[in-house]
Amino acid sequence: MKRLIVLLFAWLPAAAAAQSAADSLAIAAIRWDTCCVRPHLVAVQARLELFGAPQTISMVRYDAGHYRTRIVQPDSLTLTSVLAEAEGAAAAVNAGYFNVKRLVPSTFVRVGGRTIAATEAQEAFRVNGAVAVKGRRVRIVPYAPEDDPRLARRYREILAAGPLLLHDGEALSYADRKGGFWGRHPRSLVGVTRSGEAVLIVVDGRFAQQAAGMTIGELTYLAQRLGLYAALNLDGGGSSTLWCGGVVNHPCDNRCYDHAGERRVTNCIAVVAR
């Protein structure tokens, strides 16, 4: 098992200037604990000091060619764990933003060739990317609402979110945006490596002693240093949940650093064995 983890995480690409030299070294030296292993899929977790604060990072990496990656859209808000179990998934992560008053998706979502929702105007400040599934490939693509007709013709499964963190190996900068959404929070992301391996990451947050959470800039840097070629930020905060045979991370909705604090969400990304 140790050999598998070494093969998955030993390599790191060149990246933009580090948040600090200590952060760069800390990411390169992460000691991952294995949480769950399936054929061509592994879930791991690490606790470390990063960006001047305690962090807990959970991650699933899998060969998309051996799994079906699905956007799961229930009729009402549902726990990620419940959606994962209902799909018979090997792994899952919470996905899109939702309208907290109407409890429906607030971004463009298309599932099984049917458009479920369009992007609401209030999401324009952060929604500039999408995760799409084309055959056996998971793709992270730039997005704007005017793209909906074109994307609907091209993809049967697509979900808009954001911000886009990495595109074609390059980090996007949002350095001029401070506080609020852009500050430190629990985070979820979906990404791909240059070779097409798919990656789901959740960073815990809102626990001062165990997990501070990350800013968008810190999350971008982490994703790049972990070898992602493209990456998209998903809904975060209390929604952030990573599942692999059970909840792997520490969702914060119950304000306890345990696995019981899940929030009901509007949809999820499920990884289902072929």
**Is residue 17 predicted with pLDDT exceeding 90?**
no
How many other CB atoms sit within 10 Å of the CB of residue 274? 7
**Is residue 255 predicted with pLDDT exceeding 90?**
yes
- Looking at every residue in the chain, the average pLDDT score rounds to 93
**Is residue 3 predicted with pLDDT exceeding 60?**
no
pLDDT of residue 19: 76
What would the two tokens of residue 111 be?
A: 């599932």
Give the DSSP per-residue string, 57-68: EEEEEE-GGGEE
Residue 202 burial (10 A CB sphere; 0-12, 13-18, 19+): buried
pLDDT of residue 21: 84
Q: Among 90, 108, 88, which Cα is nearest to 98's?
A: 108
**Is residue 12 predicted with pLDDT exceeding 80?**
no
pLDDT of residue 4: 37
195 Cβ contact list (under 8 Å, min separation 6): none
Q: Give tens-digit pLDDT for 172-191.
A: 999 999 899 999 999 999 99
Pairing of strands 104-105, 53-62: unpaired
Band of residue 130 on the pLDDT scale cut at 50, 70, 90: very high
Q: Give tens-digit pLDDT for 21-74.
A: 899 899 999 999 999 999 999 999 999 999 999 999 999 999 999 999 999 999
Q: Are 271 and 69 in contact (CB under 8 A)?
A: yes
Across 219-244, b (16+ Cβ under 10 Å) vs e yields bbbbbbbbbbbbbbbbbbbbbbbbbb
Residue 142 burial (10 A CB sphere; 0-12, 13-18, 19+): middle
> What share of the chain in percent tops pLDDT 90?
90
Centroid of chain to Cα 172: 16
56/46 Cα distance (integer angstroms): 6
Q: Give tens-digit pLDDT for 191-224.
A: 999 998 999 999 999 999 999 999 999 999 999 9
What would the two tokens of residue 4 be?
A: 């598998």
pLDDT of residue 5: 39
Alpha helices by DSSP H, listed for the chain, are: 2-9, 21-28, 80-87, 148-154, 216-225
pTM of the shown model: 0.92
CA angle 215, 218, 222 (to 5 degrees): 135
pLDDT of residue 136: 87
